[in-house]
Amino acid sequence: MKIEQHIIEELIAQAQQDAPIESCGYLLGIPSPTTGVDGGGLVTENYPMENVDHSPEHFSFAPKQQFAALRYAREKGLKILANWHSHPASPSRPSVEDVRLAVDPTIRYAILSLLDGKPTLNSFKILNGEVVDKEEHFTAAG
């Protein structure tokens, strides 16, 4: 999955603004023409969502916002390529809870870490309770 740089900057700004609460949202875009959504694609939009848990350690989407995101994506001819959230004070890797809650095998799960003030964005394919793939998208210099 490729993520346009301006989207990465938007995710970092959103996560920094929401910290110490986890930020979350969907990454929308165009699936890969050869492999479809399962193969990633090009992320062209962040669809920010409210973390209704208001927690620094976990997040939940409001169902109304999830339906609105799906409707928006369909209207724009886009697909949900990934679910993303931030880890304000831990690394960019899925927690046990993240893996347990990753139930959609057709999307990637992106995690933006703000640990030590050095944003790092990775995405993961999680199938049947196991991380089967990791893609590195961004690590701040320094």
The DSSP code sequence of 25-91 is: EEEEEEEETTTEEEEEEEEEEEEEE--TT--SS-----HHHHHHHHHHHHHHT-EEEEEEEEETTS-
Confidence (pLDDT) at 38: 58
Q: If you ran DSSP here, which 8-state letter would residue 9 be given?
A: H
To the nearest 10°, report the CA torsion of 79, 48, 70, 95: 80
Give pTM, 2 decimals: 0.93
Comparing C-alpha atoms, which of 16, 72, 13 is closest to residue 44?
Answer: 72
Confidence (pLDDT) at 33: 72
The sign of the torsion formed by the CA atoms of 5, 62, 40, 71 equals negative
Give the pLDDT confidence of 70-85 residue by residue, as tens digits: 999 999 999 999 999 9
- Distance between CA atoms of 85 and 106, rounded to whole angstroms? 17
pLDDT at 15 over 60: yes
- Distance between CA atoms of 10 and 1, rounded to whole angstroms? 17
Give the pLDDT confidence of 51-75 residue by residue, as tens digits: 999 999 999 999 999 999 999 999 9
